[in-house]
Amino acid sequence: MPGTMASPPSHGKQECRFGHDGEDAIAPGDNFSWETLKMRVAVIGLGAVGSAALRFLARQGCEAVGYEQFTRGHTRGSSHGESRIYRLTYADPYYTRLMRRAFDLWQALQAEAGEELIVPCGVLWIGDATDPELNAIA
């Protein structure tokens, strides 16, 4: 992966830079391919999700920078602790599709890392048959 790791700035925040030249922008709804898209992205928060997003963007050739307010390995992030919920269902079908794609990417990262990153446990969801979140996974 092209790029360099910058030294932490004097304010104590961590910064990672991955370079790619390009100043082109994309508007919502535009059709694009990762091969031709050039963008500059800042990822705020480098916990489990932010780090994975930064890695993905950099591998796609985007100029991406990540910022973390704490030191690496801290225990104050939203992904720290004994358990976390990973929801695949939302009332808006767009978010359900987005989460399914994200889950596919997490599984690919897990296969590449050679270790278990997500332990699916399942959930029992009881509700009205007209609930849009239930219908999103039906």
Residues 24-36: pLDDT tens digits? 344 445 565 656 6
Q: How many CB atoms lie within 10 A of CB 88?
A: 16
The SS3 assignment for 110 reads helix
pTM score of the predicted model: 0.59
- The pLDDT tens digits of the residues spanning 22-69 come to 333 444 455 656 566 667 889 999 988 888 899 988 888 888 999 999
Domain boundaries, the chain: 1-75, 84-138
